[in-house]
Amino acid sequence: MKTVKTIFIVDDDPMQAMMLQDYLSKYSTFTLTVFNSGEECLKNLDKSPDIVFLDYNFDKAGRNAMDGIEILKEIKKAKPLTEVVMISGQDRIEVAVNTIKYGAFDYIVKSESAFHRSENVIFNIIKRMKLQGEARLYKKLTLLFGVCLLGFILLVVILYQMGYIAKSPGWI
């Protein structure tokens, strides 16, 4: 089962990124890396992050900076198994739906509860990974059971054809 080891925080607001990093740093099992732009994050995707907390708007990153949706698309194209959580100050449902449509795991509005929600999202992602691992295991076990059952049926048919198994049990 895969576990969460690396988390990227991508936000052009250094204070917001630092506060999220500080809040999540209580979990020593994660390696947290902060980036001030989406382009920086994309350059470091070779570090294979498990989760990316990605800002929706990059106002302070510069005029030519990619927006959150473009970065989300690039991350999902390069690393489809990486879960992306969009963070934004916009509390509009169409923005949240749009990010989910492009592959974001969740959408968090920057508010008093944003840090607590980010913690819950991490645990939900871990729970999902665990369930996916169990589903893969059950799928393999079901396939193995089917192959064994088929082998047993073939063995019975072959033994019957060879005369080792009779139509009547013998005591009748």
Handedness of CA 123, 76, 67, 93 (dihedral sign): negative
Tokens 């992602």 belong to residue: 125
pLDDT surpasses 60 at 61: no
pLDDT in tens, 135-154: 999 999 999 999 999 999 99
**pTM of the complete model:** 0.79
- What are residue 13's phi and psi, to 5 degrees? -95, 105
Q: Which CATH superfamily is domain 6-132 in?
A: Response regulator (3.40.50.2300)
**Rounded distance, CA 82 to CA 147, Å?**
34
Maximum pairwise Cα distance, the chain? 92
Query: In angstroms, how far is CA 41 from the centroid of its own chain?
Result: 17
Measured between alpha carbons, how far is 131 from 32 in angstroms, rounded to an integer?
24
